[in-house]
Structure 1
Amino acid sequence: MKIRNAEQIVSHGHRASRKVVLEIADRTLARLDSYKRIKSIAYMEGAVLHIGTRSWDLSKKRNVYLFGAGKACNHMAMALDEILDDYLTKGVAIVKIAEETDVFRKTQVFVGGHPLPNEEGYRASKMMIDLVHKSGPEDLFIVVISGGSSALMSYPIEGITLQDEIEATDVLLKSGAGIYEINALRRHISAMNGGMLAKRIQDVGAELIGFGISDAVGSPATGDISAPYPAYKSTPIGPDPTTLDDARATIINRDLADRLPRSIVDYLMNVGPQGETPKAFPDNTYFLLNTLPDSCIYAKQICDEIGIPALIVSSFLEGESRDAGTFFASMAREIQTYGNPIKPPCVLLSSGEVTTFIPDNSVIKGRGGPGQEMAAGFAIAAAKAQGACLLSIDTEGTDGTTRVAGGITDSNSFQSASDKGISLFRALREHSCFEALDAIGDVVFTGNTGTNLCDLNIMYVPEANQR
């Protein structure tokens, strides 16, 4: 099972509701696993690498390199390391968490920093740049990228230090800015992200094949993953849709000029057109494995298989995490009382990327993440929605500053916490929802899942008289 502590989760609370939610979540994560997705379209036949509808004769390549970064990189890189076998010259992968189950033959694995960059990710990025600079037109780069690569693949431009980038990332994540705003700034101070890695490969004349998972809110659902994806964009290997003006707007609109490192503000406010990121790579070949709406689509298909009516509320969910939890609790009450917008028993699904506003570090008294804060917010407001249960996780397996994927709460969770002297209101104020939910057995642990599609929220609402 993808959810490793399922037995603990269903040992208390509204067990029947929890079992329904966990089954849907577990089966959805299994379908999204990038290792299986890549293996379903890529294989070697002699010296020929087949990927979907395209083929490459690797006997005509001098070197074949595998690069990877992202929170789903473990599974993506393992699949290609296995497929390429002796045809792989060298691999470099930057992961968030290395696990004992990871098996690589020719790929060196680095544990980068996320959400804040670290020195090991910096060293791995430098190794990638050095390999590219030694390459030429007879070489092939296969690059696997998923969400989180901006922090993990950290290599700032000259004049900006790694510490500057770490401090800037911390400020941005607590500013309330959306991910597009955050990426606009980070990409324009990076020597790797925003398409800069692809530009380096292009400059030496080498060929690039990219595999991506898009966690961007607003991306359309994937179609045929065996066909090259012509509209691939962003991340280190694709064209960057954000602009210098977007980066500057983030500083101005979020009032960050005095909070960000001076080196970054001065550079972005004064650099000319040469500081813009690349906007097109017509010669590269990209395969898109999954996009953010897929998680809700697969979850609804699983609900149909189980025989439970399901409704996708939104795959664009953004905003304050605790407020999103309150909204879902109000929906549960509406469903049980009036049967709107769907009659119980039923499942409501959403995906997106909720965030948590933290004015400064002095208010933080513990650990947590948006998924756990959403689950805590739901628990407070769901006491009157008998048997309603919400799971809110980051699909890659780590939520915020914790090693858990998120939280799961039901209409009994608030009382369970109170009985143990735990205030969920205080946990939200002090951003210590991990400690609170862990104490009542309501955190969700998965480890690396093999995907990275931001948030997945699954709510089961039984009829009001069901227990």
Structure 2
Amino acid sequence: MKKIKNYEQLTSHGDVLSRKIVLDITEQTLKKLDSYERIKSIMHLDGDMLHIGTKTWDLSKKKNVYLLGAGKACNHMAMAVDEVLGNRLTKGIAIVKIKEETDRFQNTDVYVGGHPLPNQAGYEACLKILDLVDQAGPDDLFIVVISGGSSALMSCPREGITLEDEIKTTDIMLKSGAGIYEVNAIRRHISALNGGMLAKRIESVGAELIGFGISDAVGTPATGDIGIPYKKYASTPMGPDKTTLEDARRVIREFDVADKLPKNVVDYLMNVGPEGETPKAFPNNTYFLLNTLPDSCIYAKEIAEAMGIPAIILSSFLEGESKDAGTFFASIARESQAYGNPVQPPCVILSSGETTTKILDNKLITGHGGPGQELTLSFAIAAQKTKGACMLSIDSEGTDGTTPVAGGICDSTSYTNAVSKKIDVHAALRGHACYEALSEMEDAVFTGNTGTNLCDFNVLYIPETNE
């Protein structure tokens, strides 16, 4: 089954050869990153013995085995664990962003939470998770699967803070221009589950925790052997939290949001004592890190070179304003085609990270969009002078921003195509309505759940030119 569901539509127009190269690299990369296959490659059950990589557990010594999960790749992660354990699984609870018709579970209840903003269904699922943990004991085992997006999907505010407060806080911070570390510093410290609080709760009842994680944090090193337990795991809610209360307070001051955030949230963060700090270590837990953000570029480079196309990784630390990144990549394409810098075409330039879109006023919004779509539509404007250049930017989990698509793809002919269809690309960017524009241009990339979550994945192909 193809990861890119509308491949034929995307290759029906524009510079078809360039588009096929970019899409084929993306297709193969997403397949290699799928967490279902990653977990199944290291986990199996042999009688009472559960084998995960280099470690083994005797389930005959466990009273109950529970599965908990949340995140944008949770469907595939939870399905793999549910399938391996079968009837050995006492109960599972998974909170996903999108429930697919192809999802198959035996002993796991699935809830559709909210992302990027929390919702009531996710909150109610969290209450069930808390009840499940609180009734557990030292003879129980929790297998927890977490990927990016869990902060919103596993939304359960601390006492004194309402779900509405948490929703408003998330919305304000995501539009503030703050990076994901700053956003998390706030929302982890107002949560009963995030910021490592789920792991702390499991630890408090004496149960054992095995965690499978996908890290979408910018700066996390590439994975090695995923079957070897990862000693430096730091990803919430099942692991230690790197952000601090002082970080949260600094973010409130630096981004000048004290008067915008709910009063309950500001009062709590500014006045709570050390008891409000999140846990910083869980030495007795066992963690397996399935993928990290640099992996997408590393795999894509291998795939491009196997296709006979030279490839370089420009950066796996890409951050900043999305539309500015699109203009930047177009300038790189032009430089490469004109002067052979930083690499001689034909070539592929890869990058990953997490660009953001600052929205100063909700009244400016005229449609829907996301960072990947803003990047590619901006690229389309600036790439007109670089014949055959083609850029794809997607959120690797399959949904970009507030839309049902993964992102967009544009080439050097896309702007002209938009003009011929009377689509105002500049107005779409100003109004953060790139989804509507790219959909009409037939340049929105649709994948559905991909089974991974490594933030943004960007592929730029630059062909030779005889001019």
TM-score (norm 1): 0.99
Corresponding residue of 1:53: 54
Question: 2:141 matched to 1:140?
Answer: yes
User: In structure 2, what is the Cα distance between the partners aligned to 1:386 and 1:328?
Assistant: 14
CA contact (8 A) 2:215 2:235 kept: no
User: In structure 2, what is the Cα distance between the partners aligned to 1:190 and 1:21?
Assistant: 40
Describe the SS at the equivalent of 2:223: coil
Corresponding residue of 1:231: 232
**Which residues of 2 match residues 130-209 of structure 1 at below 5 A?**
130-209=131-210
Corresponding residue of 2:393: 392
**Which residues of 2 match residues 342-381 of structure 1 at below 5 A?**
342-381=343-382
Task: List per-residue Cα deviations over 1:108-153 (Å, max 9, x = no partner).
Answer: 0000000000000001111010011001100000000000000000
Corresponding residue of 2:124: 123
Task: List per-residue Cα deviations over 1:55-108 (Å, max 9, x = no partner).
Answer: 111111110000000000000000000000011000000000000000000000
**Which residues of 2 match residues 165-314 of structure 1 at below 5 A?**
165-314=166-315
* Identical counterparts, % of pairs: 70
- 4+ long deviations beyond 2 Å: none
User: In structure 2, what is the Cα distance between the partners aligned to 1:231 and 1:19?
Assistant: 39
Corresponding residue of 1:438: 439
Describe the SS at the equivalent of 1:268: helix
Describe the SS at the equivalent of 1:101: coil
Instruction: Give the AA of the match of 2:80.
Output: A
Describe the SS at the equivalent of 2:269: helix
CA contact (8 A) 1:110 1:124 kept: yes
CA contact (8 A) 1:213 1:291 kept: yes
User: In structure 2, what is the Cα distance between the partners aligned to 1:397 and 1:60?
Assistant: 39
Task: List per-residue Cα deviations over 1:299-337 (Å, max 9, x = no partner).
Answer: 000011111000100000000000000000000000010
User: In structure 1, what is the Cα distance between the partners aligned to 2:289 and 2:41?
Assistant: 13
Instruction: Give the AA of the match of 1:289.
Output: L
Deviates more, 1:457-466 or 1:125-134: 457-466
User: In structure 2, what is the Cα distance between the partners aligned to 1:135 and 1:312?
Assistant: 46
Question: 2:72 matched to 1:71?
Answer: yes
Describe the SS at the equivalent of 2:384: coil
Instruction: Give the AA of the match of 1:391.
Output: L
1:202 deviates by: 0.2
Instruction: Give the AA of the match of 1:108.
Output: D
1:234 deviates by: 2.4
User: In structure 1, what is the Cα distance between the partners aligned to 2:65 and 2:47?
Assistant: 15
User: In structure 1, what is the Cα distance between the partners aligned to 2:295 and 2:249?
Assistant: 32
**Which residues of 2 match residues 445-456 of structure 1 at below 5 A?**
445-456=446-457
Describe the SS at the equivalent of 1:383: helix
User: For this pair of structures, how many residues does the alignment match?
Assistant: 466
Question: 2:425 matched to 1:424?
Answer: yes
User: In structure 2, what is the Cα distance between the partners aligned to 1:446 and 1:213?
Assistant: 19
User: In structure 2, what is the Cα distance between the partners aligned to 1:245 and 1:234?
Assistant: 19
User: In structure 1, what is the Cα distance between the partners aligned to 2:235 and 2:276?
Assistant: 16
Instruction: Give the AA of the match of 1:370.
Output: P
Task: List per-residue Cα deviations over 1:231-282 (Å, max 9, x = no partner).
Answer: 0012100000100010011111111001100100011011111100000000
Instruction: Give the AA of the match of 2:335.
Output: E
TM-score (norm 2): 0.99
Task: List per-residue Cα deviations over 1:144-178 (Å, max 9, x = no partner).
Answer: 00000000000000000000000000000000000
User: In structure 2, what is the Cα distance between the partners aligned to 1:23 and 1:256?
Assistant: 43
Describe the SS at the equivalent of 2:403: coil
1:47 deviates by: 1.0
CA contact (8 A) 2:69 2:93 kept: yes
Corresponding residue of 1:457: 458
Instruction: Give the AA of the match of 2:67.
Output: L
User: In structure 1, what is the Cα distance between the partners aligned to 2:34 and 2:443?
Assistant: 24
Q: Which runs of 5+ in 2 are unaligned?
A: none
CA contact (8 A) 1:386 1:465 kept: no
1:464 deviates by: 2.2
Describe the SS at the equivalent of 2:349: strand
CA contact (8 A) 2:369 2:432 kept: yes
User: In structure 1, what is the Cα distance between the partners aligned to 2:236 and 2:409?
Assistant: 31
CA contact (8 A) 1:228 1:288 kept: yes
Instruction: Give the AA of the match of 1:71.
Output: K
User: In structure 1, what is the Cα distance between the partners aligned to 2:435 and 2:450?
Assistant: 20
CA contact (8 A) 2:155 2:193 kept: yes
Describe the SS at the equivalent of 1:265: helix
User: In structure 1, what is the Cα distance between the partners aligned to 2:236 and 2:327?
Assistant: 33
CA contact (8 A) 1:75 1:450 kept: yes
Instruction: Give the AA of the match of 2:299.
Output: Y
Instruction: Give the AA of the match of 2:306.
Output: E
Q: Aligned-residue CA RMSD in angstroms?
A: 0.6
1:350 deviates by: 0.1
1:465 deviates by: 3.5
